[in-house]
Amino acid sequence: LCNSCLLQEPVIPGSFLRARAIGLMPMIDQGEKDDKIIAVCADDPEYRNYSDISELSPHRLQEIKRFFEDYKKNENKDVAVDVFLPATTAREAIQHSIDLYAQYILQSLRQ
C-alpha cells in the first residue's frame, strides 16, 4: 500500500501532513499487487474539500496514472494500472493494511 498525496505546496522529506484518502488506484507491478492510495492534503486550500476521486478532473486522473506508468518504465518494470476506485475502497484497503500490521505485531510479541 502506497500513498500519493495531492497538494499545491512543496513538502520537505520526512514531514507529516494530514491527508484524506479519496480513492484507490489498483496496480500490478512485476506481477504483484501494488495498489496506490490517492489522497489529498486535508489542509491544502485547493484540495481540502475533496472527498472522492470522482471530484478530480479527468486530466488530473490521467496525470496520476501516467506518473506511475512512466516512473516504473524508467526502472524497466512492467506495470498495469486499472481504473480508479472510490474513497470507500481506499478506506477499506487502509483498514485491511492496519489489520495485517496488527496481526504481525501480535505474532511478533508471541515469539
> For the whole model, what pTM was predicted?
0.83
Give tens-digit pLDDT for 55-101. 999 999 999 999 888 877 778 878 888 899 999 999 999 999 999 99
Instruction: Return d(Cα 42, Cα 78) in angstroms, integer.
Output: 33
CA angle centred on 16, ends 14 and 22, rounded to 5°: 120
In the chain, what are the domains? 2-110 (3.90.80.10)
